[in-house]
A and B are shown apart, each in its own frame.
Chain A
Amino acid sequence: MTILPGNFARADPRRGTEENDLTTSTRALAVDRVRKSFATGTVALTDVSLTLDAGEFVSVVGPSGCGKSTLLRLACGLETPTAGKVTTSAASTSYVFQDATLLEWRTALRNVELVDELRGAPKAERRAKALGVLELVGLAGFEHHHPRQLSAGMRMRVSLGRALVAEPELALFDEPFGALDEITRLQMQTELQTLFRLKRFAGLFITHSVSEAVYLSTRVVVMSGRPGRIVADVDIPWDYPRAPELRYEAEFAAIAGKVSAALGQHA
């Protein structure tokens, strides 16, 4: 790669893209007027449009049963839309499940290795990668523990590690912290934010918790009750890293209030 004089430097598409016309290439996910109904007759989503660019972390909040999880499953191709279109440019997509979904017979290390193993990566390479990722999610020293020997929070970290090891351009989170206790949950939010800052994947995060959504995201999307559609799209102004104390500031409360109000109107 040649180094161009400052004035003519082409922007690295991974970094600042605002001044460039690269929006199409940084679009990680586009959901275009999607409708999803199931064979049972249930209409899960109607006319949902959503775009997600590289570097964005979008949370989706909505009442239970509004089709949030269906949206996520559509985004990664586990479901196909009844009408409309889902496109993604992400070379690699990771999915973090509601519970940790670890293979109980594998150690933490081998759970993280699984993804590369399925892709046929050489053992030494995938092991080195998995060790690095486990350290990143704060599990150094627990590589050889089985899931049942780990706490719920640690299990979720293994799950995050497994998602990261795929080096995702698009990361999907299906209420990953919903089952954790409050203290662990807040801690995991901080850590996920750190990981996001470090890895800069495009994140789509499903949650019931308004404060979790506001604290983590660059944008919060509010969905109505079934059949789900998008009723509000709120930008979150703060840069990362965000201090945990941010949750107690007036501006945070104001934005959370706005999201809650949108949620309340369309429940």
Chain B
Amino acid sequence: MSTPTAVDSARRPWLRTALAGAAPIVGALAGLAAIWYGVTYLVLSPQQRFLLPPPHEAFGAALGNPQLMGPMLDALGRTMAVAVIGLLIAVVLGVGYAVVMSQSAWAERLLYPYAVILQTIPILALVPLIGIWLGYSFPARVVVCVIISLFPMIANTLFGLQSASAAAHDLFTLNKATRWQRLVKLQFPAAVPSIFTGLRTASGLSVIGAIVGDFFFQQGAPGIGGLLRLYTQRLQMDALFTAITLTALFGVVVFAVFAALDRAVVGRWYGR
């Protein structure tokens, strides 16, 4: 299936792409470390230094301590599970909701306001209520995660479903396509790139949602958000920094995975 033009540029493009993609991130991390060291040694006095221990101490102490790292990684795993399950539910609900809205103008007028309300209510205001209704453990965490990541799925999918041209719709009308054929062979395929855009945004939000859920709902085995709260209360600075860094890395990895998935799938979709 390779085209003559595609062959030349296709020679190990992934390696170059990966390097080109990694360079700015590595640079940014190096800059961050430099600022960190600068603040620790040049801004803070030795008495204040516990507020921001230098990176090697902050990470070194925690990474070398299996009793700290074990629970931390377990907690991260639980948070990941919440984020992934929450994202999956958000994807199914969001795409389904958008499909229903796309089927008629009045369905959209009827249903869109709920999506907007979902988006505009500050989620933190809802959290206590969710706790009262669903308890303070796993299901509540997942629900928070779903609510936070749902709107981008709905909005992007709907935009995509409506993106097919009027002429393409005419083509389907002229060939007496059924509503189902129009959805499956025109609207949904046209929406694939937008769905992936939504997925990229929602995946990032689902990580935030999972951590927020951990933070508030502490029943059962803790997630990384729960540990963040615990370390803060105990002023365990090295553990706190390591946990924060882990969550940040987790977010970056999730974002990178979905960005790569987006490029790969959408690129293939259009035969790029």
Q: Is the interface of B mostly helix, strand, loop or mixed?
A: helix
The answer to whether the Cβ of A115 comes within 8 Å of any Cβ in the partner chain is: yes
Cross-chain contact B271 with A148 (CB below 8 angstroms): yes
Count of B residues near A, CB < 8 Å? 23
Stretch of B19-27, B136-144, B173-181, B210-218 with 4 or more beta carbons under 8 angstroms from chain A? B173-181
Cα(A166)–Cα(B176), bound, Å: 13
Partner of A95, one of B170, B176, B186, B271: B170
Q: Mark A95-124, 1 if CB is under 8 A from B, else 0.
A: 101110101111100000011011100000
CA distance A127 to B171 in the complex (A): 19
Task: Choose one: A97, A118, A145, A146; the contact of B170 (CB below 8 Å).
Answer: A97
- Docked CA distance A224–B205 (Å): 58
- Chain A residues whose CB sits within 8 angstroms of the CB of B171 once the complex forms: 95, 97, 101, 114
- Interface residues in A51-109 (C-beta closer than 8 Å to B): 76-78, 93, 95, 97-99, 101, 103-107
Distance between Cα atoms of A93 and B176 in the complex (Å): 11
Check if A144 is an interface residue, CB within 8 A of chain B: yes
Task: Please indicate the chain B residues that have their CB under 8 angstroms from the CB of A77 in the complex.
Answer: 174
Question: Contacts A98-B167, A99-B167, A145-B271 given: A105-B189 contact, CB under 8 Å?
Answer: yes
Q: Is A104 a contact of B270 with CB atoms below 8 Å?
A: yes
Q: Which chain B residue has the least Cβ–Cβ distance from A144? A: B1
Q: Are A118 and B272 within 8 A (Cβ)?
A: no
Residue B127 CB within 8 A of the other chain: no
Is A145 within 8 A of B189, CB to CB? no
- Bound complex: CA A119 to CA B175 (Å): 8
Rounded to whole angstroms, the CA-CA distance of A149 and B176 in the bound complex is: 29
Q: How far is the CB of B100 from chain A (nearest CB, A)?
A: 23
Q: How far is the CA of A117 from the CA of B186 in the complex (A)?
A: 12
Q: Which residue of B173, B190, B269, B272 is within 8 Å of A78 (Cβ)?
A: B173
Contact check, A103 vs B170: say whether CB atoms are below 8 A apart.
Answer: no
Q: Mark B80-119, 1 if CB is under 8 A from A, else 0.
A: 0000000000000000000000000000000000000000
Top 9 nearest A-B pairs (CB, nearest first) are: A146-B271, A101-B167, A97-B167, A118-B175, A105-B189, A105-B269, A118-B177, A95-B174, A115-B175
A interface with B by C-beta (< 8 Å):
76-78, 93, 95, 97-99, 101, 103-107, 114-115, 117-119, 144-146, 148-149, 166
By a beta-carbon cutoff of 8 Å, the part of chain B in contact with chain A is 1, 3, 165, 167-168, 170-177, 181, 185-186, 189-190, 192, 269-272
